[in-house]
Structure 1
Amino acid sequence: MSFSQDLEHKKVLVLGAGVTGIASARALIGREASVTIVDEVVTTDSEFLIVQPSAVDVSEFDFVLISPGWKESHPLIQKAQVSHVTLLNEVDLAWAIKEERSPGQKWLALTGTNGKTTTVEMTAAALRAGGVHAVACGNVGKTVIECVESNEAYEVLVLELSSFQLHWLKRAEFVASAILNIADDHTDWHGSFESYAQAKISILDRTMTAILNGDDKEVVTRTTHWNGRKVFYSLDTPGPGEIGVVEEL
């Protein structure tokens, strides 16, 4: 049975009525799932009925799809885990659909504290200039699931992934991943800088090639024991297999 078939007539609770939640809800309904959306701030939507978290019993659902930004400590997520309800996220849902719809589509992923949006947009633009039908998505532009289901038939998706998205990621795989930098950020959500940094580094769990900032101490130190192919870049003279800057040639 395919993942899409597994969703048919199943009850899915979507946490969050933002861009990601709404795009995910559309994809789920397109696969004949029964969808309920909850949000603590958004109360109305032209397309969907939005309910308050207090109005649902999580244990009655087959799946809970978590939008980025919802903390693992949230009572609905805690109840879902206790009730053994399967947790989903938009990127993994998009990956499952991609595997059925466009198995040849390649995904590149990028994270970092600063510079993500500029870099993914430049990467997608460079690919397009080289004749590859590519688009930047994820935490920038369209959602990943919208790009997977697009009639554009993209050859490559260049994903900008936040630490929130990486925290929940379980299934997606990338041809290559990049980590630009790691600095103190979002510790209120992750609980500590260590947890935040681990979320960033976890992008390497789903790739065999990593493009890494050789000038960032946190990136270099935290990837020391990773055994995949590493390509470091720097503003200094590069070593063998690295990317850098050489002056006065």
Structure 2
Amino acid sequence: MATSRLDALTSWHADWRNLRVVVLGLGLTGFSVADTLVELGADVLVVADSASDERAQLTQVIGAALHLGGTADEQRERVEAFDPELVVVSPGYHPDHPLLVAAADDGVAIWGDIELAWRVRDKVGEPAEWIGVTGTNGKTTTVGLTAAMLRESGKRVAAVGNIGAPVLDAVRYPEGFDVLVVELSSYQLHWMRGVSPLASAVLNIADDHLDWHGSAEAYAAAKGRVYENTRVACVYNLADPVTRRLVEDAEVVEGARAVGFGLGIPGPSDFGVVEGILVDRAFLDERRDSALEIITVDELRVLGLDAPHVVANILAAAALARAAGAPLDAVRRALASFRLDPHRIEVVADRGGIRWIDDSKATNPHAADASLGAYENVVWVVGGLLKGVDIGDLVKRRAERLRAAIVIGEDRLDVLSAFERHAPDLPLFEVVSGDTEEVMQAVVRMAAAAARPGDVVLLAPAAASMDQFRDYAHRGERFAEAVAQLLDETAPEQATAPEEEGRDDRGTAGPPSDDPGPAERREP
């Protein structure tokens, strides 16, 4: 009975009244789900381990029931008493969470916020087209670029999803949109069904969130869901064969095209680079023997957008925007005014020949690899929550570029072990304090001691931040603050370590003798 009723709920204007729904989680996404369902007339119970006081109060104000905290047994008893017909789960809940397992065992349907948003996307008239973007890295940059290109073409566009604004908020926006560019995490994609985007992209695949998905294969399969039912263009990475396989395996709408992007010379139906010029060889009739110029790498260099991984994101975004009808002049105008998000290869200081760069958004090895590859001599700030991923291959690949490494975070022993295996002679520093107020102060003092003119001090942790910081933005902000404080204290000269001081008989540089307590030298 419940299943047949849910099958009919494919519009905002369907009869959602009195549908009993449990919403798991009360972050931004969970609240948007609860608020939407209450507006639709459903009976809603929100179950969450924790929530801000404001959000908890608002949940009850809008008319949803709330069960906050409690033991697993107490939560299960409350859900069973409610007898839900549907569970809508926030990103982050593992599939093996007891409440989800119990719901599945009882035959209760489980949706994510994306499926709900797709079903009710017609609230304010003609539904917006959707463009789905996922990948291990570069999602937010590509989403922002795609939205900017479409905006320059005259469309009403919102960048939503994992980028910060819940999709359901955009669906309910009174004036509506022409296009939603939706950043999709692997968590959201795991639960996604039934969505039929105009265009979609998997930017890259590298091991990440293995603790959540259980295996690399399951993680990749979740990412590949973005291609399902795509109608116009499936955009994939020519340098990443996994993304091509995901396109080949997807059930798409007949007529949808595979469009590749890469840093080399493109084939027909691809985007690429020819003699320093970014080109479109996909969306033109004469694509077998000609291409359309987008912008030059030299022009991107002036804009600060010439890092290889950023160029790849630009090509992917251009492919998505062109699939949605954006003319080339709109693509060019968007690039001329585009700026990378904070905490993405952001220069926070440049003094004494040393650049300090915040790439706190590099929360996995794949992102950190792209960042490290852009610089020749690096003092690398690395560590945090590894999410089940081994960074050994990354250390091995980039060891020659490293002047030193400063290791932070809860999983730092695993990071140190990777250096011991693959870069045993590299100077290592370990920040042993977990105090948020002390971590970055120690990091920048050690970095200043290790760095030399011409070096980059790079915060690209290859790990999540929640062990010591609220999020990656908080981590980056603390880094920038600590850099500013250090440079104020040491102006006008930049402190650097003497070439041979502080080395032990195994070639490991230690911190200066007056370095305060929360950090220590780590011998390989």
TM class by shorter chain equals over 0.9
Q: Does 1:13 align with 2:19?
A: no
SS at 1:71 equivalent? coil
Superposed CA RMSD in Å reads: 1.9
| Superposed CA offset, 1:159-214 (max 9, x none) | 00000000000122100101110001000000001100111112111313201110
Aligned position for 1:241: 269
Bigger RCO (CA 8 Å, 6+ sep)? 1
Aligned partner of 2:130: which letter?
A: W
Q: Point out where structure 2 has 5 or more consecutive residues left out of the alignment.
A: 1-7, 61-65, 278-524
Q: Does 1:218 align with 2:260?
A: no
| Superposed CA offset, 1:20-57 (max 9, x none) | 00001000000111111111233741212531452413
Note the 1:33-44 alignment, pairs <5 A: 33-42=42-51, 44=53
Aligned partner of 2:186: which letter?
A: S
Q: Does 1:135 align with 2:144?
A: no
Q: CA deviation at 1:82?
A: 1.3
SS at 1:223 equivalent? helix
Q: Does 1:121 align with 2:144?
A: yes
Aligned CA distance change for structure 1 residues 248 and 186 (closer, same or farther; 3 Å) = closer
Matches of 2:245 and 2:128 in 1, distance apart? 32
Structure 1 stretch displaced more, 109-118 or 85-94: 85-94
Aligned position for 1:67: 90
| Superposed CA offset, 1:139-161 (max 9, x none) | 01311010010013110000000
Give aligned-pair identity as a percent.
37
Pick aligned residue for 2:34 from 25, 35, 38: 25
Structure 1 stretch displaced more, 179-188 or 75-84: 75-84
Aligned CA distance change for structure 1 residues 2 and 216 (closer, same or farther; 3 Å) = closer
Q: Does 1:46 align with 2:57?
A: yes
Structure 1 stretch displaced more, 178-187 or 90-99: 90-99
Aligned position for 1:177: 200
How many aligned positions are there? 249
Aligned CA distance change for structure 1 residues 118 and 230 (closer, same or farther; 3 Å) = same
Normalising by structure 1, report the TM-score. 0.93
Q: CA deviation at 1:240?
A: 1.1
Aligned CA distance change for structure 1 residues 61 and 222 (closer, same or farther; 3 Å) = closer
Aligned partner of 1:36: which letter?
A: L
Q: CA deviation at 1:6?
A: 3.6
Matches of 2:122 and 2:196 in 1, distance apart? 11
SS at 2:270 equivalent? coil
Q: Point out where structure 1 has 5 or more consecutive residues left out of the alignment.
A: none
Aligned CA distance change for structure 1 residues 178 and 82 (closer, same or farther; 3 Å) = same
